[in-house]
């Protein structure tokens, strides 16, 4: 192999490696959305996991047809919808059968709901950042570390009732902040 061929091989390997990295990154960022999307059409967890596995394999096989910079989530959900419909055809022996039109309607509703949920999640993250550090730490301890209120109270030298009241006030503040951000149409 001459030096030019080696350089060309290295370039194609780098491009291939970058494409793999891009796929892994995009799939990782959107896996939860794909899962929620499929679960909205197939409420049985085992069936949904089977469909998601098939979808992931197909996404990888067809990734060369995906154009970088376009909406990966929309593309992946369309593939997941097709995989769900194909799975339903294979399971026709089930007594309850949804029409493709029904599945399309559920998919559209699920996408809209997921978008709203993602918007609320982004707003919540920003609202949490606006809280004083001691409130953020209390939230991390209670919900992130899943510490019991009694244990937190002992660590802080407060009663469990006082911790409950603090958490309630923080949740109320966060609710108001998220509601305000969404109502103002702030792009978060």
Q: Is the pLDDT of residue 43 over 80?
A: no
Specify whether the CB–CB gap between 188 and 122 falls below 8 A.
yes
Section 171-186 average pLDDT:
87
- Residue 147: left if φ>0, alpha if ψ -120 to 50, beta else—which one? beta
- Predicted confidence (pLDDT) per residue in 114-155, tens digit: 778 888 888 988 999 999 999 999 888 888 888 888 998 999
pLDDT tens, 79-110?
A: 999 999 888 888 766 556 677 888 888 888 87
Alpha-carbon span 99 to 90, nearest angstrom: 14
The Cα 149–Cα 145 span in angstroms is: 11
Q: Does pLDDT of 166 surpass 50?
A: yes
Domain boundaries, the chain: 1-97, 113-188
Mean pLDDT within 30-39: 90
Topology given in CATH for the domain delimited by 113-188: Arc Repressor Mutant, subunit A (1.10.10)
pLDDT at 14: 61
Give pTM, 2 decimals: 0.48
Residue from 73, 83, 71, 72 nearest 38 by CA: 83
Measured between alpha carbons, how far is 188 from 133 in angstroms, rounded to an integer? 21
14 vs 160 pLDDT, higher one? 160
Q: Look-up: residue for tokens 């394999």? A: 57
**Separation CA 22–CA 50 (nearest Å):** 24
Q: What percent of the chain has pLDDT over 90?
A: 36
Q: What kind of fold does domain 1-97 have according to CATH?
A: Rna Polymerase Sigma Factor; Chain: A (1.10.1740)
Which pLDDT score is estimated for 97? Answer: 65
Q: What is the pLDDT of residue 182?
A: 87
Higher pLDDT, 38 or 118: 38
pLDDT at 49: 93
Quickly state the pLDDT bin for 51 (edges 50, 70, 90).
very high
Share of the chain above pLDDT 70, in %: 87
Provide mean pLDDT across the span 36-64: 91
Do 1-97 and 113-188 have matching folds? no
In 42-159, where does DSSP find H-type helix? 45-61, 72-90, 100-130, 133-139, 149-156
Handedness of CA 72, 73, 79, 82 (dihedral sign): negative
């Amino acid at each position: 192999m001459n030096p030019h061929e080696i350089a060309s091989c290295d370039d194609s390997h780098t491009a291939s490696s970058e494409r793999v990295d891009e796929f892994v990154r995009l799939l990782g960022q959107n896996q939860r959305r794909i899962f929620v999307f499929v679960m909205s059409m197939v409420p049985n967890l085992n069936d949904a996991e089977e469909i998601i596995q098939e979808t992931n394999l197909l996404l990888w096989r067809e990734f060369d047809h995906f154009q970088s910079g376009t909406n990966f989530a929309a593309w992946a959900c369309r593939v997941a919808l097709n995989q769900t419909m194909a799975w339903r055809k294979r399971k026709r022996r089930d007594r309850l059968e949804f029409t493709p039109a029904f599945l399309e309607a559920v998919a559209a509703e699920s996408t809209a709901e997921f978008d709203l949920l993602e918007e609320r999640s982004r707003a919540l993250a920003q609202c949490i950042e606006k809280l004083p550090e001691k409130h953020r730490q209390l939230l991390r301890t209670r919900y992130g570390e899943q510490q019991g209120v009694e244990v937190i109270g002992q660590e802080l030298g407060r009663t469990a009732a006082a911790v409950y009241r603090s958490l309630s006030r923080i949740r109320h503040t966060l609710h108001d902040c998220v509601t305000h951000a969404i109502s103002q149409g702030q792009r978060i």
